[in-house]
Chain A
Amino acid sequence: MHVPDGFLDAPTSLATAAIAAAGVGLALRGARRELSDATAPLAGLVAVFVFATQMLNFPVGAGTSGHLLGGALAAVLVGPFTATLCLTVVLLIQGLAFADGGLTALGTNITLMGLVGVWVGYAVFRAARAVLPRRTSSVPLAAAIGAFVSVPAAALAFSVLFAIGGQAPIEFSTLAATMIGWHTLIGLGEATITFLAVASIAATRPDLVYGARDLVASTHDLEVRTGALA
């Protein structure tokens, strides 16, 4: 999903850079509310895990592969604002050190994976949580559903950007259909990895899972709530 330099024209790349800068700015403010002494180390771990897992391209048939985007996974574990920061750090290191994802396309990639991937994934997760039974075991399932939807959503967002500023005359409907088709398959891998990762942390430390906070009545939470009321 990493967009290289040259796919999009300069005005579109500048526009996505502005969108990414605004989004990351908001995330820097929002993440302060999400991060606590207990959850901050998890944010570092999530960024590291997303980087490592993005190296693991899995085959999806016909000579194509896909890798985790990690937006929904990160949002469910550490909160959506912090997740945007995790993805931004991963994309920054990938672009600067590993030449993966263009530098003029950094704003585009942050927009696609750090904003669309994270926030669509998180919104679908919340919607799924609202429908599923209120118990901890629903959390990994809802996360997987959010992860599944987030990948074709990012693919659609790329297609829209390409229709606006793509450097080749490709029919929007053809591009969108092809992108969404392949990325729906990749979304199945995204859902599987997200389910396993969220399930393993929810099984050991559900109190650390941002998307399960309302289900865990730990003493720490009670203290925080009492403090908020006082």
Chain B
Amino acid sequence: MTTTSRQRISTRTLVLVGLAVSLVLAGIISFYASGHPDGLEFVAHKLGFADSAGSHVSDGSPVAGYGVQGVHNARLSGGLAGVLGVVLVGAVMYALTRLLRRRSSH
């Protein structure tokens, strides 16, 4: 199997397409995600230890629970929170990889 002869897309294009897909998933598709408790929450309820969960120190965050405080449209609120998350995660990870590569080149 030769891969060198195949028509390839640039890294830049690949990352931009991936970023666009992630923004659509977090900003739009996330609205349709299942609202049921996840595996751990479900098991915690079933076996009776869900109550031991404390309140979260970040509950006062303007985007706590994947919704923007003050935005009442659920679709918009969740979508904006998702887009903000994508931007935050991308920025932090990008900064971290830059830092690691600069240090390793010395």
- A57 contacts B63, CB within 8 Å? no
Asked if A1 lies at the interface with its beta carbon under 8 angstroms from chain B, I say: yes
A98/B4 contact (C-beta < 8 A), A89-B89, A179-B39 known: no
Closest chain A residue, CB of each to CB of B30:
A55
Asked if B70 lies at the interface with its beta carbon under 8 angstroms from chain A, I say: no
- A1 contacts B38, CB within 8 Å? yes
A32/B101 contact (C-beta < 8 A), A56-B29, A135-B1 known: yes
- DSSP majority for the B interface? helix
| Contact residues in B for A48 (Cβ distance below 8 Å) | 18-19, 22, 86, 89-90, 93
The distance from the CB of A141 to the nearest CB of chain B, in whole angstroms, is 15
Asked if A223 lies at the interface with its beta carbon under 8 angstroms from chain B, I say: no
Among candidates B4, B43, B48, B97, residue contacting A44 with C-beta atoms closer than 8 Å: B97
Contact with A along B1-34 (1 / 0, CB 8 A): 1011000110110110011011101100110011
Q: How many residues of A contact B (CB 8 A)?
A: 81
A98/B58 contact (C-beta < 8 A), A55-B66, A136-B1 known: yes
- B39 contacts A155, CB within 8 Å? yes
Contact with A along B50-84 (1 / 0, CB 8 A): 00111111110101111000000000000001101
B residues sitting closer than 8 Å to A (CB atoms) are 1, 3-4, 8-9, 11-12, 14-15, 18-19, 21-23, 25-26, 29-30, 33-40, 42-44, 46-49, 52-59, 61, 63-66, 81-82, 84-86, 88-90, 92-94, 96-98, 100-101, 103-104
29 contacts between A and B (CB under 8 A): A4-B56, A28-B100, A31-B100, A32-B100, A32-B103, A35-B100, A35-B104, A37-B101, A40-B97, A45-B22, A49-B18, A55-B26, A55-B33, A55-B82, A57-B33, A59-B34, A65-B33, A65-B34, A65-B39, A98-B65, A99-B58, A155-B40, A166-B52, A168-B47, A170-B47, A182-B39, A201-B14, A204-B9, A219-B4
